[in-house]
Amino acid sequence: MNHALEPAVAAIRCEGLCQDLGGQRVLQGIDLAVAKGEVVSVLGPSGSGKSTLLRCLNWLAPPTAGRVWLGNEEVGVKPDRHGRQRPLADAAVRAQRSRIGMVFQSFNLWPHMTALENVMEGLLSVKRLARAEAHERAAAALREVGLGHKLDSHPARLSGGQQQRVAIARTIAMQPEVILFDEPTSALDPELVGEVLGVMRELALRHTTMIVVTHEIAFADGVCDRVVFMDQGRIVEQGPPAQVLRAPQQERTQRFLGRFA
Ligand code: ADP
Ligand code: MG
């Protein structure tokens, strides 16, 4: 367990994060710091801003207001020589974003590529590795998620659980500093959820820094160091899983968790 929230050691951190979408403020000032090796789950009702938070953290959708740091480096902006914050050049933002992994509900694999080629793609185009090295690293990542025997399979020949494991392999092969998961098992048939959660549990045991948006309460309880509960664009409550899940203090958390009781 690791509840250290010292900003100096945070793998990723945000302050006052706000996002306006469709004329609405859907993130209302989020402060969050995730320590290196910490595994945080984010729970909350549909529409509470969980996906928006992840998209702001990795600058997929730059926030309307607020700041994000990856380690000690601020994401997306840089002070000019007068100390004023200026937007970073696109290439610099891309370089920062490549240090943050993201796993979506929809696996987003290339259908015309094999599992191996899907995992190699970012290693070749973003990391600019030599082909042999990319091949080796991609194969190792696929073995890590239990798919060493499926390197040459195309996505259509894989189950949903296997496809999501390829997507996770693609992410870990890039060796990001933090991985953001947005409901990674929500699109899966129930019997395939366990194999994906099993891979994520392995990553957590190896102290991968992770933020996991999920409705899998047992995963949040058994694997995560901290549970963050969001509602209406705000963090309503957070703490160790035992506290937030079994003795929630806030009425909105109690009401939400009541659905799973
Ligand atoms: P969650 O992931 O918790 O279900 P989201 O972050 O997807 O919530 O959405 C938060 C709020 O922002 C919702 O009210 C949603 O309707 C709204 N929203 C999300 N994306 C957009 C968009 N592109 N345009 C307008 N509103 C959006
Ligand atoms: Mg969402």
For the Cβ of 233 lying below 6 angstroms from any atom of ligand 1, the answer is no
Atom in ligand 1 nearest the alpha carbon of residue 233: 10
Residues of 239-251 as b/e, b for ≥16 C-beta within 10 angstroms?
A: bebeebbeebeee
Q: What is the structure's pLDDT at 259?
A: 74
Query: For the whole model, what pTM was predicted?
Result: 0.94
- Complex ipTM > 0.90: yes
Q: What's the pLDDT tens digit per position in 46-96?
A: 999 999 999 999 999 999 999 999 999 999 998 888 888 888 999 999 999
1 CA distance to ligand 1 centroid (A)?
32
Q: What's the pLDDT tens digit per position in 9-46?
A: 699 999 999 999 999 999 999 999 999 999 999 999 99
The whole domain housing 118 covers: 100-175
> Is residue 146 domain-resident?
yes
DSSP-assigned states of every residue in 126-175: TS---HHHHHHHHHHHHHHTT-TT-TT--GGGS-HHHHHHHHHHHHHHT-
Ligand nearest the Cα atom of residue 232: 1
Atom in ligand 1 nearest the alpha carbon of residue 52: 6
Q: What's the pLDDT tens digit per position in 124-141?
A: 999 999 999 999 999 999
> Is residue 158 domain-resident?
yes
Atom in ligand 1 nearest the alpha carbon of residue 19: 12
Q: Please name the helix (run of DSSP H) or strand (run of DSSP E) that holds residue 217, with its range, or none.
A: helix 217-223
> Is residue 211 domain-resident?
no
Give, using CA atoms, the residue closest to atom 16 of ligand 1.
Answer: 47
> Is residue 121 domain-resident?
yes
Among 26, 41, 48, 212, which residue has the most ligand 1 atoms within 8 Å of its CB, making it the best to mutate? 26
> Is residue 170 domain-resident?
yes
> Is residue 60 domain-resident?
no
Closest to 17 (Cα-Cα) out of 73, 77, 82, 66: 66
> Is residue 220 domain-resident?
no
Q: What's the pLDDT tens digit per position in 90-127?
A: 999 999 999 999 999 999 999 999 999 999 999 999 99
> Is residue 120 domain-resident?
yes
188 CA distance to ligand 1 centroid (A)?
22
Total domains in the fold of the chain: 1
Distances (CA, A) of 6 to 11, 53, 150: 10, 21, 42
Using CB atoms within 10 Å of the CB of residue 31, give its burial: 0 to 12 exposed, 13 to 18 middle, 19+ buried. exposed
Cα separation, 181 vs 164, in Å, equals 11
Q: What's the pLDDT tens digit per position in 148-177?
A: 999 999 999 999 999 999 999 999 999 999
